[in-house]
Amino acid sequence: MAELIAIPLKKPSDVDIIKPLTNVIKSTYNSPSNQKDYTDAITEFSKLRNNALWRAFEKYESSLQVIYSYYDQLCALEGKIPAHELQIPFKWKDAFDRTIFGGKLSLTISTLAYEKVCVLFNIASLQSSVAATQSLDSDEGLRLSAKLFQQSAGIFNYLKGNVMMAIQQEPTPDISPETLGALSALMLAQAQEIFVHKAIHDSMKDGVVARLAAQAEDLYADTLKLFQKEIFRAFWDKEWVPLIAGKQAGYRAMGEYYQSLVCRNNKLIGEEIARLERAVELFKAAQQRSNKPSLFQDYANKAQRNLTEVKKDNDFIYHERIPDIKNVEAIGKASVAKLLSLPETFSSDFKDLFAELLPVTIHNALSAYENRRNELVNYEVSNLREMTQLLNSVLASLNLPAAIEDTSGTEIPQSLLEKALYVRNEGGIQALEVAMKELPDLLQRNKELLDECDRMLQEERESDNQLREQFKERWKRTPSARLTEQFTSNLQKYREIINNAVTADKVVREKYENHKQGMEILSLDEDELTRTVPQGLAVQESNVVIQLRKLMDDVETLKAKRDAIEGEFKSATNDMKTTFLSALAKDGAIDEPNLSVESLGKCYGPLQKQVRESIARQEKLVAEIQVCLQSLHTCRKQL
């Protein structure tokens, strides 16, 4: 079996992901309309993590499928969970347990991006371990080994270009871009080495094997340069660099050996001898550099036998001049091993445990749409209610409909009795007085709660700044201002709400004082109310009164229609989830403003038209009522 290097795994630490993930999903996705329970999915995800990360150390092909599933689930989940809200302290130890100039042995970062980096590193490492243990005597083993080494090389190369952006701080030495670049080069060289074995196994032409071996030597030369950098002094396993150096010489020898077979077939005896002499020399160098006397021994024996035979034949038969090896034609190179890019999913049968959770972009778009919708609905409903209040105020100032409910002038109008009953049922003036007395205490309590929250945030921020100043660059914790950004924002929001409430309290108190006497009268029982309210003048039943009553009926009809319109505004729905998902699938992005405005126009445009018509109808009704009432006053003066 070939001497192949397997990369060690990073060491994970157990961490509770159930509670933080549960909290984030509840705070982000749960709403009155969506109360789905993800407890089972979160528990399954936690089990999947433990199984994947610890099974990897068994280094079997079946372990790959488990860690593939976990990584795919991480990728699917990352797009659905706001990155700044999920705080799980993922801790991973350095795979090599060594340091570069005092580098860290472990690193803890509370992001899914860091977890993905470490899991991806372990996938590449496990692929190298599985690839290194395959039988090179079978076609299946050769194919799998070549595939896994190429995938591993691609992953390490991907991490090299993305690790710093993912973790945004100093990494452990094993996942530094320099280390990852070296590991990628090694995996690619070993993949090319497997293709050399496969070409030999498949009895390909000697020239093909020679070119494949020449490329393997070239890749091992690049790898050796990277592994011998000063920053890696005493970093790698002590056998790695000698083995890589030995492989470089060995595959140069393999290239010369197989090219000598091409020369034999073409009767180029002198060149054959020159290449065999070089091959024998390089095979010895490979064994010496690697400290492995058996490395390439079979091919070294074959090269020595062929050299002895061809020299003998040349001495007795051909008498060809043996050229200097430096002057013979260089062997061409066949580059077969490639850096394989990351697949969309590693698992062939991946099933998302959180399939019903929407991607963050969709969730944000839906939230933005909902804000637009609420703004539109609240504006239109508020507009309707304001116009209705204006109508009620106009009618109250005209003493309608009370002025025409009792034409005798001796009974209390029914509308006034209904209002008095409502006031009494709500507790009357006493309930209002209690509520008004409680307002200052409630305001003070809310202010104290906010002040305490502000104090705690300030204390935490000062503590973080003090420790950062004390420990300098060793203090790696996320800055307090960033961690508590959401809390600070909420604090400002609630303080603004309280300030607005203080202003509103003043308005309420003024209205209370202005209307206190009226509310006291309305709080009386019906008999007392009858004795307190003065009698009015009798109104003669006439066409004007009949017309006013009809207009009052029209007013009630208008109000009923507005209640229906308000209900339609609140109940109208649009399937924006499907709209946004389709846009994301089609364009790869969501133009939320345009899509939302278009959808809102289709859904609420007709209702907005009804609001405008209702307001116009109100203006016409008020004008007609005022004309009739003026006629009624004229009739009274004439009596």
How does pLDDT run across 290-302, given as a tens digit for each residue? 999 999 999 999 9
Bridge partners of residue 627, in order along the sequence: none
Q: Does the fold of domain 411-534 match that of domain 358-410+539-639?
A: no
- Written as one string, the DSSP assignment of 335-402 is -----PPPPS-S-TT---TTTTSPPHHHHHHHHHHHHHHHHHHHHHHHHHHHHHHHHHHHHHHTTTTH
Rounded CA gap, 103 and 400, in Å?
Answer: 85
Stated as kind and residue range, the H or E segment containing 626 is helix 592-638
Rounded CA gap, 366 and 596, in Å?
Answer: 9
Homologous superfamily (CATH) of 358-410+539-639 is: alix/aip1 in complex with the ypdl late domain (1.20.120.560)
Rounded CA gap, 233 and 235, in Å?
Answer: 5
Rounded CA gap, 411 and 533, in Å?
Answer: 10
For the four alpha carbons of 284, 289, 290 and 291, in that order, the dihedral sign comes to positive
| Confidence band for 506, pLDDT divided at 50, 70 and 90 | confident
Q: To the nearest whole number, what is the mean pLDDT of the chain?
A: 87
What is the gyration radius of the CA atoms in the chain, in angstroms? 42
Q: Provide the residue ranges of all domains of the chain, joining segments of one domain with +.
A: 7-19+41-202, 204-323, 358-410+539-639, 411-534
Q: What is residue 391's predicted lDDT score, i.e. its pLDDT?
A: 86
Q: What is residue 634's predicted lDDT score, i.e. its pLDDT?
A: 72
Would you say residue 517 has pLDDT above 60?
A: yes
Q: Which residues contact 181 (CB under 8 A, 6 or more apart)?
A: 156, 157, 160, 226
Rounded CA gap, 299 and 306, in Å?
Answer: 10
The architecture that CATH gives domain 7-19+41-202 is Alpha Horseshoe (1.25)
Rounded CA gap, 359 and 579, in Å?
Answer: 14
* Residue 613 or 520, more confident: 613
Would you say residue 566 has pLDDT above 50?
A: yes
Q: What is residue 32's predicted lDDT score, i.e. its pLDDT?
A: 54
**CA contacts within 13 A on the Cβ side of 59:** 13
Would you say residue 56 has pLDDT above 60?
A: yes
CATH for the 411-534 domain, from 3.40.50.620, 3.20.20.120, 1.20.1250.20, 1.20.140.50 = 1.20.140.50
**CA contacts within 13 A on the Cβ side of 500:** 6
Residue 597 in 3-state DSSP?
Answer: helix
How does pLDDT run across 232-250, given as a tens digit for each residue? 888 898 999 999 999 999 9
Would you say residue 104 has pLDDT above 60?
A: no
